[in-house]
Amino acid sequence: MEEKTQLIFPNPTSEYIKIILDNVILSESKKPVKIYNTFGECVIDFTPTSFLTGEGLRIDVSHLPVGIYFIKYGNYTEKFVVVR
């Protein structure tokens, strides 16, 4: 079984999510980060400028309505929940 190299927390969240990518340096890959709602609509779309492995990336989700969302980075997808 392959070990998960990425982690999203806190989950559930109300203000932000933080992504930790253990084996990826985003500055080298320049892949977009996209967040989708359950209707498949992209609600957040950006390409991180850079951050180092293990540092993490903080994304403000406080403006999103309560619900289930999916974050996609390259081939990686994870579900998270926004609560109030």
Higher pLDDT, 34 or 57: 34
The reported pLDDT for the residue numbered 76 is: 83
The reported pLDDT for the residue numbered 19 is: 84
Query: In this structure, is residue 18 part of a structural domain?
Result: yes
Mean pLDDT of the chain: 82
CATH number, domain at 34? 2.60.40
Query: In this structure, is residue 41 part of a structural domain?
Result: yes
Its domain, for residue 25, covers 6-82
Give the pLDDT band of residue 32 (cuts 50, 70, 90).
confident
| Average pLDDT estimate for 52-59 | 70
Query: In this structure, is residue 64 part of a structural domain?
Result: yes
Query: In this structure, is residue 1 part of a structural domain?
Result: no
Supply the pTM of this predicted model. Answer: 0.81
Task: Please state the φ and ψ torsions of residue 24, each to the nearest 5 degrees.
Answer: -130, 140
Higher pLDDT, 27 or 14: 14
- Our count of domains for the chain comes to 1
